[in-house]
Amino acid sequence: MWRFFIGLILAVGIVSCAGTKLTQSEEGNARNIVGYIFARDTLLNGNDINVKDMTEINYAFANIVDGKISQGFKYDTENFKILNQTRTENPDLKILISVGGWEWSGGFSDMSLTKASRKKFIRSAIAFVEENNLDGIDIDWEYPNQIGNGNTYRPEDKEDFTSLLRELRSALHELGTKTGKHYLISIAAGASKKYLANTEMSKVQKYVDYINLMTYDFYVPGADSISGFNAPLFTNPRDPHHGSDDAIVQDFIADGVSPQKLVLGVPFYGHVFQVDSTSYNGRYEPAGIPSTRIRGTFANLVQHYINKNGFVRYWDSTSCVPYLFNPVSRIFITYEDQESLRDKCDFIKARGLKGVMFWEYNADYKGKLLQTLYDGLR
């Protein structure tokens, strides 16, 4: 995001890699580094998790079953114990349970519909937090009053989402008066104007500690018929969607959200497109899903594709992100690396945002991306 420059801070501001001048915000504020851990049915090894470089871990996911929070995977109880043991390495680490996600957001609309149904869920959530010695709850509803993954949705979701968070905040505050600690609430927010239109973010921000912006998946193979960047910092003029981190942050602020409540999401993975043309190195060209499956995790790209096997790494100085292109196979890969994350860290500081969130921990390569975030923000 802030390319060369990025070490250059002027008295009047800083200039991004795309040449955009941004007013420099006050430095020195501690910023959040929120990492999602998606264990599925795997037992974690606490020694393999770099808890020193994260402020929060969002453990994904819990489900909603019969209107109550429900353990999602086989080893969740054991994994919470393992994560709690890592606090010896970082006593300030906060551990949250993330509820929902793309696969498990189907129960939110019914659960939040009435005060009684919300109370049922909140009681179960408070018990879940206490039983597993957690520090809070991350609500990942994808999405209020939108179908998402074929989910139940209704217009009432807009106000019910706010009510759920307000009542959850009250319940966690009550718990905190007993335990002497502050319990966190965060949400994973869709990075679109449609998400803003179907929520009340200016009200929601009063009840949450921070809002994790899912500023990725701007282009997804199969869902989009042209190639595009997964997580561009700034909008590329060729982009018909006109989407970027910068645009979304501006939209949320214009909707009444304080920058200090916004956490910028970054992906530790990329997307792979088969393009029809080699024009513009495959960027914003008609595209589909390649027949050859390429795992898009940063770890896999480093080991097999970045400047290897016919793929060349390029840099888009407008969007401030890297990409790979193979002109023979016409495969375009959009991803994130250390250079783009350094730029995004500078963007976060310049905009006065709360911090950074990433999806997800296991996609990193030897901790290089997390280390970049830590060095850039802490």
Question: Residue-wise pLDDT tens for the chain (378 aa)?
Answer: 333 333 333 333 455 676 655 555 544 468 999 999 999 999 999 999 999 999 999 999 999 999 999 999 999 999 999 999 999 999 999 999 999 999 999 999 999 999 999 999 999 999 999 999 999 999 999 999 999 999 999 999 999 999 999 999 999 999 999 999 999 999 999 999 999 999 999 999 999 999 999 999 999 999 999 999 999 999 999 999 999 999 999 999 999 999 999 999 999 999 999 999 999 999 999 999 999 999 999 999 999 999 999 999 999 999 999 999 999 999 999 999 999 999 999 999 999 999 999 999 999 999 999 999 999 998
- Map residue 212 onto helix, strand or coil: strand
Q: Please indicate, yes or no, whether residues 263 and 279 belong to a single structural domain of this protein.
A: no
Range of the domain at 321: 274-331
Active-site residue among 142, 285, 336, 339? 142
- The pLDDT score that the predictor gives to residue 26 is 47
Residue found by looking up tokens 């179960």 in the block = 124
Q: Please indicate, yes or no, whether residues 191 and 289 belong to a single structural domain of this protein.
A: no
- The pLDDT score that the predictor gives to residue 3 is 33
Q: Please indicate, yes or no, whether residues 326 and 351 belong to a single structural domain of this protein.
A: no
Q: Please indicate, yes or no, whether residues 182 and 297 belong to a single structural domain of this protein.
A: no
Structural domain tally of the chain?
A: 2
97 occurs within a structural domain: yes
Q: Please indicate, yes or no, whether residues 196 and 58 belong to a single structural domain of this protein.
A: yes
What whole-number distance in Å separates Cα of residue 147 and Cα of residue 152? Answer: 7
Q: Please indicate, yes or no, whether residues 233 and 326 belong to a single structural domain of this protein.
A: no
Whether the Cβ atoms of residue 55 and residue 94 lie closer than 8 Å to each other = yes
Q: Please indicate, yes or no, whether residues 211 and 321 belong to a single structural domain of this protein.
A: no
- The pLDDT score that the predictor gives to residue 19 is 64
Bridge-based pairing state of the strands 312-316 and 321-326: antiparallel
- The pLDDT score that the predictor gives to residue 17 is 78
Tally Cβ neighbours within 10 Å of residue 278.
Answer: 14
pTM of the shown model:
0.94
Question: How far apart, in Å, do the first and last CA atoms of the chain sit?
Answer: 18
234 occurs within a structural domain: yes
- The pLDDT score that the predictor gives to residue 6 is 33
Clarify whether 142 is annotated catalytic.
yes
Q: Please indicate, yes or no, whether residues 177 and 317 belong to a single structural domain of this protein.
A: no
- The pLDDT score that the predictor gives to residue 378 is 84
Structure token digits, residue 101:
């996600």
Long-range contacts of 113-118 (CB under 8 A, 24+ apart): 113/154, 113/156, 113/160, 115/163, 115/167, 117/67, 118/160, 118/163, 118/164, 118/167
DSSP string, 175-211: HHHHHTSPPEEEEEEESSHHHHHTS-HHHHTTT-SEE
Q: What share of the chain is helix, strand, coil (3-state, %, to 5)?
A: 35, 25, 45
54 occurs within a structural domain: yes
264 occurs within a structural domain: yes
What whole-number distance in Å separates Cα of residue 365 and Cα of residue 337? Answer: 10
Q: Please indicate, yes or no, whether residues 200 and 325 belong to a single structural domain of this protein.
A: no
Domain with residue 264: its CATH number is 3.20.20.80
309 occurs within a structural domain: yes
- Map residue 261 onto helix, strand or coil: helix
What whole-number distance in Å separates Cα of residue 370 and Cα of residue 355? Answer: 13
